[in-house]
Amino acid sequence: MAVDKKRYNMRISGLGGQGVVTSAHILGSAMDNAGKFASLVPFFGSEKRMAPVEAYVRASSEPIYEVGEVVYPDIIMIYHPQVITHGKSYTMPFYTGLKKNSLIIINTDVDILDPDDTKVLNTLGAKVVQFNATELAIKIAGTELATNMAMMGMVLGITKLVSKENIEKAVRERFLGNSFVASGGTAALDSAIEKKFKKKEELLQKNMAVINETFILADSIDLNTDKLIIKLNA
């Protein structure tokens, strides 16, 4: 896995309510803050909890023209094991189109890839990072709602695309800036998250604490290993 690429095409698959689109927006803003280029596209059907949601983030050091789904990703992030076990993704299997020597991050501490999957992924020279992002979110931020921050922190920790300052600015813009309306549902969810954290500043700090923790975990990863699956203890 080369982590110094000029351009990353990321495909993020998760479930409605997990903040897939929100974290993709933050990721894109962080790239923008760093003076780089990013574009992101959300993809969903009916807007309901637990329904499949995908977001596609393109991050690059040069201008990006392409939009739409990322059909050939360099990085795949799976926010919920059901994406794999229940087929809740827009492509089946979830790694369809994965480029050679690419990265997969899965929110799980259970091995959910079957032998057919591991065979293909081994041939592609992929690296699969498995960690329980939800447990980490609960441990550090006190809520599973910060799962998306843990996932985003992990990918940024591994790729070092932006600095922590860039991320903090983006998180601040998202939650403390002008109210953003992704849809009625998202606005309602935002206010629910705010109530949970009482204060927006507290929300920001908890989110950053989760991201800091994932940066530490990411530093422990050796992508030059021969193993397909790299397991981290959250």
Partner 1 sequence: MSIKNMTKEKNWSGQTMVSADHLLFEAPREKHFMTGSEVLKEAMKRCTVDASVSYPITPQSEAAHLIGELWAEGYVGTYFRGENEFGVMSSVAGCAMAGARTVTTTSGPGTLRAMENFPMWSGTRIPCQLVLMARGINSPLTIQPDNLEVSFLLETGCMIWYAENVQELFDMSIAAFIVAEMPDVHVPIITAVDGFFVSHTRESVMLPADDIALFPYNPYKAPLPPIDSEMPPGRFLRDPFVMKSNYISYATHASWQWEVRSAADRSRPYAKHFLKGLVHVTGDLDAEIVFVACGTASHQAKEANRELTKMGIKSKVVKLRTIRPFPHAELLEETKSAKYIFVPEFNIVGWLDKEVTQTLYGKSEAKIIGRPRVAGGMSMPVEAILKEVLENVKKGA
In the complex, which residues of this chain contact partner 1 (CB under 8 A)?
25, 28-29, 32, 37-43, 45, 64-72, 180-184
Give 68: exposed, middle or buried? Use CB within 10 Å, 0-12, 13-18, 19+.
exposed
CB 51 within 8 Å of CB 79: no
Give 67: exposed, middle or buried? Use CB within 10 Å, 0-12, 13-18, 19+.
exposed
Query: 98: which DSSP letter?
Result: P
Q: Label residues 72-94 b or e (16+ Cβ within 10 Å = b).
A: ebbbbbbbbbbbbeeebbebeeb
The two structure tokens encoding residue 166: 């860039």
Alpha-carbon torsion 194, 195, 197, 202, what sign?
positive
Write the DSSP string, 152-172.
Answer: HHHHHHHH--S-HHHHHHHHH
Beta strand ranges found along 125-228 (DSSP E): 127-131
CA separation for the pair 212, 75 (Å, rounded): 21
Cα Rg, the chain, nearest whole Å: 16
